[in-house]
Amino acid sequence: MRKFFRHICPKLLLSFLACILVNAEISAQHIQEETASMPLKTVQEEPLSSDTLQNPLFETTLTGASNNSMIYLENSDILLFDKDRLPDVQVLVGNVCFRHDDIYLYCDSAYFYDYKNSLDAFSNVKIVQGDTLFVYGDVLYYDGNTRMARLRKNVRMENKSALLITDSLNYDRVRNVGYFFNGGRLEDSLNVLVSVFGYYYPSSNTANFRRKVKLTNPNFVMNSDSLNYNTNTNIATILGPTHINYGEETHIYSEKGRYDTKNELAELLDNSYVENQDTKRLLGDTIFYNKKNGIAHAYRNIELADTLKKVSLFGNYGYYNELTETGLATDSAMMIEYSGGDTLFLHADTLFTYADSVYKVVEAYHNVRFYRVDLQGIADSASYQTRDSTLQLMYNPIVWSDDQQIIGDTIRAYMKNGTMDKAHVIGAAFACQKKDSLHFNQMIGKEFWAFLQDGNLYKIESNGNAQSIFYPIDESDGSFIGLNTTQSSYLHAYFKDGKVDKVLIFPSPTATMYPMDQLTKEIMFFPNFVWKQEYRPMCKEDIFLRFDRKKDEIGNSSRKRLSSKSGTK
């Protein structure tokens, strides 16, 4: 028996070792074939961008010890050397573990290049850095001198609540940044982001994504060309053309800014707008928008547009509440109404808008001036309603059309088919038509109705204590025959080609004709006469001119008696 063990056991032991070596060689051959099938050079990598690495939004942290720290083999079930087939390479199989600086690398098998301080790891690859960062993959190429880890196939980087998934990832441990170049996906507790290229900085929880970036949130989808994102704060920094869509409800566009995806707060800084499904759009150089309460503030070059009602407000500050449909514009505020053939341009210190049922109302406060081709005017305050296309002017209003001027306590202008259809002058109504620099046709009454056709005045009805001053014209030579004054309860004046064609006075009218050589200022002008051509906007740019108007001169019953040459200075 002793002889048996003395001669047989050594042979069995040698046979057992031979089997192990054969299996190890087979494993090494398998590793070599797998490595050859995925050469590193075939991957289309994008190098680290210096602009990205120097971006102040991302603080790169240098990790590791000295530049020449060595990789240490902590564990392996089998270690083989084959100087003929794999010179200067240690072949490791089974429960392989390496340590380098403060990280551990795990895999099923590996090639360890001790002399180059690098390794190739295969199957169930895992990198552990501290207690928060874990990187997984099928294949790893790791250089201990440069601290660059290249992972391929089924790559996952887990950092706290963030998960980065890609097929090819380079992890630069010196700068502590992982970057992908053939598509990647970043997930956190709130959002999912995908892009073609991406950089992720675990130490600062920040990422930079480029090309076909898409952020998906339970409430919205964000598409961008370039985007930064923080997985800790859930804030996306907009770096290029970006669209944020809440289904068909709200569309946000910006080329620069920040979006708090958790609280749905937007800070939009460049070529930005917020658009709602009800055709309302807010534009501005800077927009602060709270999606949850529907409130937006806009600064510089703002526009609050209602494309359905064809009304827009402009200014350098704007506010809009999409839930109550209220808004305002101030600081060089202007309203543009373009529903008809002619466009109305109206300026005031402040423009306020709200919805009256399904209709839109714009109220203008202080220093109102407006211009249309067929109508111009000024007032202290005004309102415009889309319900019946009515423009109401209050407190010292004056309206001009052609060579006519109308004044009253309140003036309402009604639009129809894009042009002025009629006007209602309420309280201390006064109308005059300039014949030349000294002579004016005039009418006064408690109220007026002025009717227009194709933008031309053809009739004025004066109701209540109606009085008039007219200059009949000799048709043969166009000279004035004299001055005719009338007085009655009602007066209807008809116009043709811009001139008085006929006048109806009822009931019980009184009239007086004065020869031209007997005229005095007391006869030629009513006590409340005023002609304010210098206030008249002659083009749309004139609506921003400002004048110091004296309230006791126009717009009330206590107007001073003025000559045709008098004016406010």
- Other C-beta atoms closer than 10 Å to the C-beta of 142 total 26
At the topology level of CATH, where does 27-35+44-172 sit? lipopolysaccharide transport protein A fold (2.60.450)
Dihedral of alpha carbons 40, 41, 42, 45, sign: positive
Residue with tokens 């043709």: 496
User: Is the link from the previous residue into 202 a cis peptide, with omega within 30 of 0?
Assistant: no
Taking only the tens place, the pLDDT of each residue in 267-286 is: 999 999 999 877 789 999 99
Taking only the tens place, the pLDDT of each residue in 484-523 is: 999 999 999 888 877 778 888 888 889 999 999 999 999 9
Query: How does DSSP assign 13-44, residue by residue?
Result: HHHHHHHHHHHHHHHHHHHHHHHHHS-GGGS-
pTM of the model: 0.78
Domain ranges of the chain: 27-35+44-172, 379-569
Residue 495: per-residue pLDDT:
84
CATH number of 379-569: 2.60.450.10
Dihedral of alpha carbons 343, 346, 351, 354, sign: negative
Taking only the tens place, the pLDDT of each residue in 141-196 is: 999 999 999 999 999 999 988 999 999 999 999 999 999 999 999 999 999 999 99
The amino acid that residue 488 corresponds to is: S
| Residues recorded for the chain | 569
- Other C-beta atoms closer than 10 Å to the C-beta of 438 total 12
Residue 307 has pLDDT above 70, yes or no: yes
Tokens of 169: 């990832």
- Cα gap 407→556, rounded to integer Å: 9
- Cβ distance 462 to 491 under 8 Å? yes
- Cα gap 449→492, rounded to integer Å: 9
Dihedral of alpha carbons 346, 347, 348, 354, sign: positive
Q: How confident is the model at residue 341 (pLDDT cuts 50, 70, 90)?
A: confident
Q: How confident is the model at residue 528 (pLDDT cuts 50, 70, 90)?
A: confident
- Cα gap 244→253, rounded to integer Å: 6
Burial class (CB in 10 A: 0-12, 13-18, 19+), 275: middle
The secondary element (H helix, E strand) that includes residue 524 is helix 521-524
- Cα gap 487→10, rounded to integer Å: 143
Taking only the tens place, the pLDDT of each residue in 429-470 is: 999 999 998 999 999 999 999 888 877 788 889 988 999 999
- Cα gap 336→350, rounded to integer Å: 14
- Cα gap 465→487, rounded to integer Å: 7
Does 379-569 match 27-35+44-172 at the fold level?
yes
Tokens of 259: 């979006």
